[in-house]
Amino acid sequence: MNHTPWLVVGALVVTTFLLKGAGSLVMGDRELPSWFPRFVEYLTPALLAVLVVTQLVGSSDADGLAFDARIAGFAAALAAWRLKAPVPLVVLVAAAVTAATRALL
């Protein structure tokens, strides 16, 4: 039996638990500093903006920017969103337009 997978699983489970739980493990019952809520107020839009950009033009197997069919799907979804389409429809539009553009290219 190959033990390598379980070694990786064990190690990554431990580090992930510590990283995700670090807040309460470190802080205990102490209060966070008073500037912290304001930091989070800016952190949230900044972090989400990073996620939008990296998932829209990032690429897992190539370095650099990858402008592909996702852009078309994103633009179409944006239009649907501006027209006040419900979220499931916006998502469907994104996937369908991306798939169609990719098939045509």
CB contact set of 56 (below 8 Å; sequence gap of 6+): 70, 71, 74
Alpha-carbon span 71 to 65, nearest angstrom: 12
Binding of another protein by 102 (CB under 8 A): yes
Taking the complex as a whole, how short is the minimal distance between the CB of residue 76 and another protein, in angstroms? Answer: 9
Binding of another protein by 35 (CB under 8 A): yes
Binding pattern for the stretch 40-59 against another protein, x by CB under 8 A and - elsewhere: xxxxxxxxxxxxxxxxxxx-
Q: Scan residues 13-32 and list those touching another protein (CB under 8 A).
A: 13, 15-17, 19-25, 27-29, 32
For the chain, count helices (H), then strands (E): 4, 0
